[in-house]
Each structure stands twice: as C-alpha cells, then as structure tokens.
Amino acid sequence: MRTEICIIGAGPAGLLLAKLLRQADIDCVVLERRTPDYVLSRIRAGVLERITIDLMHKTGCAERFSREALIHDGFEIAYAGKRLRVDLKGLTGNTVAIYGQTEVTRDLMDAHRTDGTPIEYEAEAVALADFDSSTPCVRYRKAGIDREITCDFIVGCDGAHGVSRAALPPQAVTNFERLYPFGWMGVLAETPPVSDEIVYANHARGFALCSMRSRTRSRYYVQCALTDTVDNWSDTRFWDELRRRLPAELADGLVTGPSIEKSIAALRSFVVEPMRFGSLFLAGDAAHIVPPTGAKGLNLAASDVHYLSTALIAHYRHRDDRGLDTYSDRALARVWKAVRFSWWLTNLLHRLDDDGFTARVQQAELEYLQSSRAARASVAENYAGLPL
C-alpha cells in the first residue's frame, strides 16, 4: 500500500490529524493496534482549551460538542477552610469546556467512518523502518497477513508506550522525566457534580479534585500512595475520605453513589527531544506526558496537531518545508510552558512528606493568589491555554 502520511495511533491526536489532512486532500492511513471499543473504553480527562475546541469546529466534528459541552468561566481552589476562585473569563477573556476525551474520540471516529478514512484497527506487530530516509515504510500484520505501507512521512500518535518513540535511536534523543511520589485514586459515578465548576483542594490529608463529565456524571480524585491499590478503596472509604478533604459546605452537599469506574494513576512529567527524526514526527503522549493536575495532556496533543498539520499542508500545497523543519522547536516551546505550569500546580496542591516546609510555602503561595489579581491572572492565562 502507498500513502502520503502513515499515522500510528487512532486516539484523538491521530484521528484529529487525519481529519485535517483529509480535508486538505492529503492521503493518509491510520494504524491502531486496539479495537475501536477498546479505544473508547479509555477514561481520560475532559477539560478542553480553545485550541482543541477550534480544531473540532474546523474539522466539522463539533456538532455534539456544541450541544453537550459544559462551558466553565473559572475554577476553585479550596485550602485552609477558604475557597479561592480563579475567574478565567474575567481575567483572560477565555473559558474552558468540559467534554470528555472519550467523546472527542467518538466524534472523530464517527466523522472518519462517514468519510471512509482508511483506519486499520487491530494492526499487530507494527514496525517502523527507514524513517531516517526519504522513503520510510511501516510493516504490520492484520488478520494473520503481513502488510507494508510506504509513505512520505510517519507520524507517531500512539502514546507513551507505543512503537513510534521506542523506534527512535537512543543516542538521537534526550529524555527528561520527573516522577511524583504519589498517585491519584479516581472514581467515576453517575451523580451530579458537587459544584458547578472544578474544585481543587489542598488539605493536610492530601489533595482532592472534584470534576465532572456532565451534569449527571462526576469524576473525583484523592491523593494516595503509589503503593496503594484499587482493592483497598471501597466506595464508602473513598466518599468518606473525599468529604474530609473538602470544605464543609461542599462536603455537606456531596451526592454519593456506586462507582462505575475506579483507577489509580501515577503522576509524572516526561518530554522527549526532539519531536522529529528524519521522516518520523511525534505528537501528543508519544512525545510528552504531564500530570493531569493542569489538564494539559489532550490540549498539548491538539497544539502539536495544529503545528504539524499546518506544516504538512504547506509542504504538499506549496513545497514549503519551513513548518516541518521548525515543528519540533515550535511544539516543544509550548510543551515546556505547559510542563512548567502542570509541575507548579501539582507541587502547590499536593501533600509532600517533608518537615512542613512545603506546606508553609504552599500556604503562602495560596494566600498570595488570594490577594493578588496579577497572580490569579497568570494562573488563569496558563490554565485557559497559552497562545500558539
């Protein structure tokens, strides 16, 4: 098989890129090792910045989003019995939208199904070859038959554990990583959210987060040990612990119910440089991971897709390779700003085991945010999304 772009991974980054390329009459094929049902079963974050929303509209995939998304003008931080609201709209003129990553993926899948985009699900033994040349190819197995795709470029959108990043020569890249000494115990429940906006809580017992997927479905998290397991957390234990970490007025209004999904996530920051090697480009989680505290993962993937789709379109339409040549530097400049903000917010809100120094610094920082409009504006600018 011959195509212009071979995209590895049918998550939101890969599907969004494929839609933009197809709109520009650029041929592409998407390979995904999982089934569509498995892809849709992955529960991920759902805070969308303007860049992600704009790309959904640009691809014509925002009809359901426009009906169902919850637009948030701000968010809250609870600490020391106080509640601090960061007014995103008032401070920056921007808002964020609550719309699950699974729903973004579903909308893109439906659009590609209508368009007839060639997406090979259950593609096994995917292997990238000759991407240090101008004639790369991708080999894989489907239904027991070995196949090969020759192409101009390969784009790895297959996540942190995919084959794309693993194919890079170790001596050609530099990895940067920060591991956090705690995890998030998360629960999804068919219950109304405890607040109309997202609430982050800094508490002596540990961090907590109150979020939502819709007006009837809530997503909650509490900080836990990395050694903890889901089996240690009954629904009753989780709800009791969450109440302890929330201000009284929120705890009293918390509606509980049976969990429909539980998981524990470790937190880390990871960046690989560069994001291009020859004819291979990385985008999204294949190139960078951020802790979910700042809600940047999907939005960074969208900004990568924006830069890369624009560059590929310029290459094919105008034989202009400036965008391809600068893709890695432009993407990484925005990635590192998001990594910094996610790292800062994570360290601000979580309980760290030290002599109390960190807790005092956190308290001082939160009091400063409470008293300074300029400080809140900086947080709001980063949270709502920095410009491209």
For all residues of the chain together, what is the average pLDDT?
Answer: 96
pTM score, whole prediction: 0.96
Mean pLDDT, range 282-298, rounded to an integer: 96
Which residues are known to be catalytic?
Answer: 72, 200, 292, 296, 383
Domain 180-267+353-384 in this protein, CATH class: alpha beta
At 91-109, the pLDDT tens digits run 999 999 999 999 999 999 9
| Confidence check: pLDDT of 45 > 80 | no
- In the predicted model, is pLDDT for residue 9 greater than 90? yes
- Residue pLDDT, tens place only, 205-253: 999 999 999 999 999 999 999 999 999 999 999 999 999 999 999 999 9
- pLDDT, mean of residues 24-47: 92
- 143-174 in b/e form (b: 16+ CB < 10 A) is eeeeeebebbbbbbbbbeebbbbebbeeeeee
Q: For residue range 77-88, what is the model confidence (pLDDT) as tens digits?
A: 999 999 999 999
| 43 has pLDDT over 80 | no
Q: What per-residue confidence (pLDDT) applies to 327?
A: 98
How many CB atoms lie under 10 A from the CB of residue 344?
A: 15
Q: Looking at residues 135-141, what average pLDDT do you find? A: 97
Residue 44 has pLDDT above 80, yes or no: no
Share of the chain above pLDDT 90, in %: 97
Q: How much is the average pLDDT of 39-56?
A: 90
58-75 mean pLDDT: 97
Distance (Å, rounded) from C-alpha 62 to C-alpha 54?
Answer: 9
- The band of 69, judged by pLDDT with boundaries at 50, 70 and 90, is very high
Q: How far apart are CA 139 and CA 340, in angstroms?
A: 37
Q: What is the pLDDT of residue 46?
A: 87
pLDDT value at residue 41: 86
Q: Would you place residue 187 in the very low, low, confident or very high pLDDT band (cuts 50, 70, 90)?
A: very high
Cis peptide before 274 (omega within 30 of 0): yes
For residue 12, what pLDDT band results from cuts at 50, 70 and 90? very high
Residue whose C-alpha is closest to residue 293's, from 372, 357, 202, 177: 202
Q: What is the mean pLDDT of residues 54-80?
A: 97
- Tokens describing residue 3: 């195509």
Give residue limits of the domains in the chain.
5-70+98-176+268-346, 180-267+353-384
Classified by CATH at the fold level, domain 5-70+98-176+268-346 comes out as FAD/NAD(P)-binding domain (3.50.50)
pLDDT digits (tens, 9 = 90+) for 299-342: 999 999 999 999 999 999 999 999 999 999 999 999 999 999 99
pLDDT above 70 coverage of the chain, percent:
100
At residue 346, the pLDDT reads: 98
Q: What is the pLDDT of residue 197?
A: 97
- Going by pLDDT thresholds of 50, 70 and 90, the confidence category of residue 355 is confident
Q: What pLDDT is attached to residue 5?
A: 98
Indicate if the pLDDT at residue 17 is higher than 90.
yes
**Cα dihedral across residues 310, 280, 105, 210: positive or negative:** negative
Q: 81 exposed, middle or buried (CB, 10 Å; 0-12, 13-18, 19+)? A: exposed
Q: What is the pLDDT of residue 354?
A: 78
What's the full length of the chain, in residues?
388
pLDDT at 274 over 80: yes
